Structure 1
C-alpha cells in the first residue's frame, strides 16, 4: 500500500468503522451503512490531510529553491 492508501484506510477505520478499503467481493463486506456525521468527519479528516500535504509541499519548495 502506498502512503495515500494507508491514510485513507486509517480515516475509514477511525471515522467510519470500515476495516479495509479493499474490494472483498461480498455485499456484506463491501457496502456499509454510515451515519452522515461520520461521513462528514471522514471527509473533513481527508480534507485536512490534503491541506497539510499542500503545506508540506510549499515548505519543501521554499527550502529547496
Structure 2
C-alpha cells in the first residue's frame, strides 16, 4: 500500500474569501485521502506560527502555497 501523502498548505490571509477557498480545497483533499496540515485545523490560538511552519515544511510530502 502506498504511503498517505502529507500536504502542508500555507496561504495568504488577505481576505475571508481566500481563506474559505483554501479551507474548501483542504477539505476536498482530506476527503480524497491526503493528510492535509492547515493552520485552521492544526495550530492552536496564539500558537508559534514560525515554529509550526518550520517543522511541517520538512516533514510534509508536499508544500502548497496560495
Larger-gyration structure (1/2): 1
Ranked by relative contact order (alpha carbons within 8 Å, sequence separation 6 or more), the top structure is 2
TM-score by length of 1: 0.36
TM-score by length of 2: 0.36
More helix by proportion, 1 or 2?
A: 1
